[in-house]
Amino acid sequence: MLSRYSRQVVYNRIGEKGQKTLLDSHAVIIGVGALGTVIANNLARAGVGKLTIIDRDFVELSNLQRQTLFTEEDVKNNLPKAEAAVRHLKEINSEIQLEAVVADFNATNAEKLIRDVDIILDGTDNFSTRFLINDVALKHKKPWVYGGAVADTGMVMNIIPGVTPCFRCLIQDPPVSGHTQTCDTVGVLNSTTGIIGNIQAVEAIKILLKSEAVLKGVLTINIWQTEFDKFEIEQDKKCPACQQGKYEFLNNRTPATTLLCGQNSIQVLPQQNRDISLPEMANRLQKLGEVEYNRFLLRFKTDQYTITVFPDGRAIVSGTENPGKARSLYAQYIGN
Ligand SMILES: [Zn+2]
C-alpha cells in the first residue's frame, strides 16, 4: 500500500512513519487557482490522506497559463474550479479522500470549514481572505502556510499559532485596494506561482511531520533576477490577532459583494442561504437572454453582462466592477 510512495518512504526525513502520518492528515486548500492547483497536486501525490478544496470560482481559458490542474475541457464544461480540481486529483490518487467545496470562504463559514483540519494552505489571491484565515487559524490553533505571487516575485511564510509571529505581525492591515500590485495589473509568470506553490506544499509536509526544518521567517523570491532571500520577523507586541485575541476579520460581517481579482467581476452573496433549482431558473431566464447550465452552475448572458449563479444563491456578475450595478442585476434576474 505504501509502494506508490516508495520514493518518499526511502527519503530518510519522511520514512514509513512519516508517510503514515501524512496519510492520517487532513489539509484544506483555500483557493484552487495558480498556487492552489500546484499545492493540491503535490499534496495528493504525496499521499496526504484527506484534502478539502474550497473555491468560489469557475475555470476560464486565461487560467490555463498557470493553473496546472485544469484543461480546455474544464473550460468547455463550465466547471467550478473546486469540482474540476477534485476530478483530476482522483485520477492522480484514488486512494485518498478528496472533497470539493464550491463556496466563498468567509466569516460565516470559516470556522466550520477548518474545524477538522490539521493544516490550512493559502491559495487565495487577496488580502481580505488571508486576514480571515489568520484569525480563524489563530482562534482554532491551526497552522497555516501563506503564499503570495505577483509577476516575477513571491513570498512564503508559515504561521504556527503559539510558535511563530502571525500574518498581522508581518502586515498590520489589508492594503487599501488599488494600492497593491495584482496579477490583473502586472501579470504573473507561471514559474513564480509554481515555485511558491511547491514551497508551500513542502512546508505543509514539514509542519505535519513536526520537522524542526520548517521555514522560519519569510522567504522572498525574484525569479527574473534569480534571487532567493529569507528574513526574520518579530512578534508584534501590539498585534491585535496573536497578542490580544481580537479576531476582527472573523467577527466582521461579510460584505454582500466582493470585487474579484483581475476579472472585471463582482461576487454577490444572497441575503440568506437559498436552494435554487437551476433547471427552473433556466426556464424562466430563457426568454430574457442566453442560458446554459449544468449540475454546478447556471450561466446567463444579457447585454454586456454574464451572470453565473450557483445553487446556494451565490452569483458572479461579469462585465462590471460596480457593486451597485452587480446587486441590481442580481435583484433583476435572480431575485432576492
Ligand atoms: Zn500577530
Q: What is the mean pLDDT of the segment spanning 263-277?
A: 87
- Find the 221 Cα to ligand 1 centroid distance in Å: 23
> Residue 95 — very low, low, confident or very high, per pLDDT cuts 50/70/90?
very high
Which one has a higher pLDDT value, 335 or 60? 60
CA 84/CA 40 separation, integer angstroms = 12
Q: What is the pLDDT of residue 54?
A: 98
What share of the chain in percent tops pLDDT 90?
A: 83
- Find the 152 Cα to ligand 1 centroid distance in Å: 27
Got the DSSP string for 94-154?
A: TTSEEEEEES---TTTHHHHHTT-SEEEE--S-HHHHHHHHHHHHHTT--EEEEEEEBTEE
- Find the 238 Cα to ligand 1 centroid distance in Å: 8
- Find the 145 Cα to ligand 1 centroid distance in Å: 14
Which one has a higher pLDDT value, 244 or 335? 244
Q: What is the mean pLDDT of the segment spanning 6-14?
A: 97
Backbone angles phi, psi at 229, to 5 degrees: -135, 160
Whole-prediction pTM value? 0.92
Q: What is the mean pLDDT of the segment spanning 137-163?
A: 97
The residues with which 265 forms a beta bridge, in sequence order, are 260, 318
> Residue 153 — very low, low, confident or very high, per pLDDT cuts 50/70/90?
very high
Grid cell of 332 as nine digits:
433583476
- Find the 76 Cα to ligand 1 centroid distance in Å: 43
Whether residue 324 is predicted with pLDDT greater than 90 in this model: the reply is no
- Find the 11 Cα to ligand 1 centroid distance in Å: 35
Q: What is the pLDDT of residue 36?
A: 98
- Find the 255 Cα to ligand 1 centroid distance in Å: 24
The residues with which 167 forms a beta bridge, in sequence order, are none
Q: What is the pLDDT of residue 250?
A: 95
- Find the 155 Cα to ligand 1 centroid distance in Å: 17
Q: What is the pLDDT of residue 16?
A: 97
CA 19, chain centre distance (Å): 25
Q: What is the pLDDT of residue 178?
A: 57
Which one has a higher pLDDT value, 261 or 303? 303
- Find the 244 Cα to ligand 1 centroid distance in Å: 9
- Find the 333 Cα to ligand 1 centroid distance in Å: 43
Helices (H) and strands (E) in the chain, counts: 13, 14
- Find the 92 Cα to ligand 1 centroid distance in Å: 38
- Find the 123 Cα to ligand 1 centroid distance in Å: 20
Q: What is the pLDDT of residue 274?
A: 84
- Find the 104 Cα to ligand 1 centroid distance in Å: 25
- Find the 130 Cα to ligand 1 centroid distance in Å: 13
Q: What is the pLDDT of residue 213?
A: 97
Phi-psi map region of 102: left, alpha, beta (phi>0 left; psi -120 to 50 alpha) = beta
Read off the amino acid at residue 285: L
| Mean pLDDT score of the chain | 94
- Find the 162 Cα to ligand 1 centroid distance in Å: 10
- Find the 243 Cα to ligand 1 centroid distance in Å: 6
Q: What is the mean pLDDT of the segment spanning 68-89?
A: 97
Q: Which of 1, 39, 41 is nearest to 20 (CA)?
A: 1
- Find the 168 Cα to ligand 1 centroid distance in Å: 5
> Residue 254 — very low, low, confident or very high, per pLDDT cuts 50/70/90?
confident
- Find the 160 Cα to ligand 1 centroid distance in Å: 11
Q: Which of 131, 61, 127, 51 is nearest to 88 (CA)?
A: 51
pLDDT in tens, 161-219: 999 999 999 998 887 665 566 656 789 999 999 999 999 999 999 999 999 999 999 99
- Find the 235 Cα to ligand 1 centroid distance in Å: 6
pLDDT in tens, 231-250: 999 999 999 999 999 999 99
pLDDT in tens, 14-61: 999 999 999 999 999 999 999 999 999 999 999 999 999 999 999 999
Domain 257-333 architecture: 2-Layer Sandwich (3.30)
Q: What is the mean pLDDT of the segment spanning 117-134?
A: 95
What ranges do the domains of the chain cover? 3-251, 257-333
Select the CATH number that applies to the domain covering 3-251 from these four: 3.40.50.11610, 3.40.50.720, 3.40.50.920, 1.10.3470.10.
Answer: 3.40.50.720
- Residue 155 three-state SS: strand
